[in-house]
Structure 1
Amino acid sequence: MGMSVIISAADAQDAEEILKLQYLCFQSEAELYGNYRIDPLVQTLDSVRAEIAESLVYVARLGDEVVGSVRGSTDPEGTGRIGRLCVHPRLRGHGLGARLLRAAEAGLADQRAATRFRLHTGHRSESNLRLYQRAGYAAVGNTTGEDGVMMILLEKEAQAPAAYVASA
């Protein structure tokens, strides 16, 4: 590849690239469910900007290109909520999703005092379920999203804070 993928906090200038990447990445999910109105495909640029301002948002960069992204926030009970994890299709299968997931977990634990993590994925999204299970998540229930897709809810307890190195 020649360059290392660097994971860092997103800033306001990343919003448009994040939205474009999200749109590209979630096409396969939309196809899997036969639903092109899933939440990630109808999100607006303004709402991505708001998430960057209010939440923890990390990007993976290959040179100047944003090739991955993840968001995290905490609820009043201290649960870190992780979402919109996406990796450019040409870079999938190389551990980048796991690195982004660890970055979100570390940021939520260290900066937002999260004591557990929760995320969700579509019930047919087998590769996502495998990733989350390998990362220690367990299914705790399901729900139907506003877009009509059945989502599997997964959780895990936060470990003791560990230093996360946001580099190669």
Structure 2
Amino acid sequence: MSLSISITEELQTCFALRHQVFVEEQGVPVEEEQDDLDPSATHLLALQDGVPVGTARIVFNGNTAKIGRVCVLPSTRGTGLGAKLIEAAVDTARAHPGVTRAKLGAQIHALRFYEKLGFTALGPVYDDAGIDHRDMVRDFT
């Protein structure tokens, strides 16, 4: 079994994965899933044996890289793919000139997952597309 995670221009593949996880599975309104940040974002695609199984995007803003739209298919959850996808996003962010930290909006149930990957929660819980989230950051020091 081979796994690869890389920057991709295959946005429709990323959108299809996101639609399956966020819209179909989690009930995010379809009109909120894609936004005007997608065209300028850096997108990552995870392939397992050549089959798309996960994606994430990174939006660069000054010294901060915002990691978002992170999803893996149900069939690959619990395999470590999510952690590898986040580490690939962090590595991509760290390599971007001037970026000193990564930020993300974590669904509340995933806070411990991100904490294990070096992120720290900050600020209040907020609603994003009907799901409770909390911001998290990881400084590159």
Cα distance change on mapping 1:131 and 1:41 into 2, 3 Å: farther
Counterparts of residues 12-23 of structure 1 (less than 5 Å): 14-23=10-19
- Report how far residue 42 of structure 1 moved: 3.8
Is residue 149 of structure 1 aligned with residue 139 of structure 2? no
Structure with the largest fraction of strand: 2
Which letter maps to 1:129? Answer: L
Question: TM-score, with normalisation over the residues of structure 1?
Answer: 0.72
1:134 aligned to which of 110, 113, 116: 116
- Once residues 115 and 30 of structure 2 are traced to their aligned partners in structure 1, the CA distance between those partners, rounded to angstroms, is 22
Contact preservation (8 Å) 2:101, 2:138: yes
- Report how far residue 113 of structure 1 moved: 2.9
Which letter maps to 1:131? Answer: F
Identity %: 26
After TM superposition, where is structure 1 displaced by more than 4 Å over at least 4 residues in a row? none
Of 87-96 and 60-69, deviating more is 60-69
Question: TM-score, with normalisation over the residues of structure 2?
Answer: 0.85
Is residue 5 of structure 1 aligned with residue 3 of structure 2? yes
Structure with the largest fraction of helix: 1
Partner of 1:98: 83
Greater CA radius of gyration, 1 or 2?
1
Structure 1 stretches lacking a partner, 5+ long: 31-35, 160-168
Aligned length: 140
Q: Structure with the greater relative contact order (CA < 8 A, sep ≥ 6): 1 or 2?
A: 1
- Report how far residue 71 of structure 1 moved: 0.7
Partner of 2:21: 25
| Aligned Cα root-mean-square deviation (Å) | 2.3
Contact preservation (8 Å) 1:142, 1:150: no
